[in-house]
Amino acid sequence: MTSEDPDRQSAGIESATDFARVDDGFERLWTPHRMAYIEGTRPTAEAGDGCPFCAAPQRTDADGLIVARGELCYVVMNLFPYNPGHLLICPYRHVPLYVDLTDAETAEFTAMTKTALRSLTTTSSPMGFNIGMNQGNVAGAGVAAHLHQHVVPRWGGDSNFLPIIGQTKALPLLLEDVRARLAAVWPH
């Protein structure tokens, strides 16, 4: 132990300078909870009751947080949203990859994505969007077995210290309220 502070020494508090460190210019945010994804110990979603995207359409729109239903695809609120209005576009069919969609499913999937952007713009005036799919566990898909596309509205300053330091995301609207607003403006 160094002799920089006698009170710290008597309290048994170690100095950070006592530990090996290589200054490489990076700050570290340790996320050990992600090991479940890396090690493959996170449960997979089987078709049917085990898959949240197969189960949601079996419920009422309000209970399943479904915004809109098409013939081959549907739109649902994300239960763990990055921002208010975070939507998922899903085919009813339990397929893992975008290339597994039929041409008809692809057309409806794309049309629903465009309608999601228009509806979110009408209800919440975002400044931009993140749109994307994580295909496979290694790519970060939370439910890799059932294809889904994220549509995340973004605003300037919507990211701050709270999610990083406090592991908390401040969401000003309840999922049910956002779903109701979007369903009200979704063209029928």
What CATH number corresponds to the domain at position 56? 3.30.428.10
State the number of CA atoms in the 13 A half-sphere of 125 facing the CB.
0
Q: pTM, whole model, 2 decimals?
A: 0.70
Residue with tokens 């990211």: 159
DSSP, res 49: T
DSSP string for residues in 105-123: HHHHHHHHHHHHHHHHHHH
128 domain residue, yes or no: yes
Q: How far is CA 162 from CA 51, 67, 76, in A?
A: 31, 28, 26
85 domain residue, yes or no: yes
Q: Name every residue whose Cβ is closer than 8 Å to that of residue 78 and which is 6 or more positions away in sequence.
A: 86, 87, 88, 150
- Catalytic residue from among 33, 86, 94, 148: 148
148 labelled catalytic: yes
pLDDT tens digits along 19-51: 555 666 655 555 555 555 456 554 556 666 689
Number of domains in the chain: 1
7 domain residue, yes or no: no
24 domain residue, yes or no: no
Identify the domain containing residue 172 by its residue range. 33-185
114 domain residue, yes or no: yes
135 domain residue, yes or no: yes
Of 45, 147, 38, residue with least CA distance to 92:
147
pLDDT tens digits along 43-98: 556 666 689 999 999 999 999 999 999 999 999 999 888 889 999 999 999 999 99
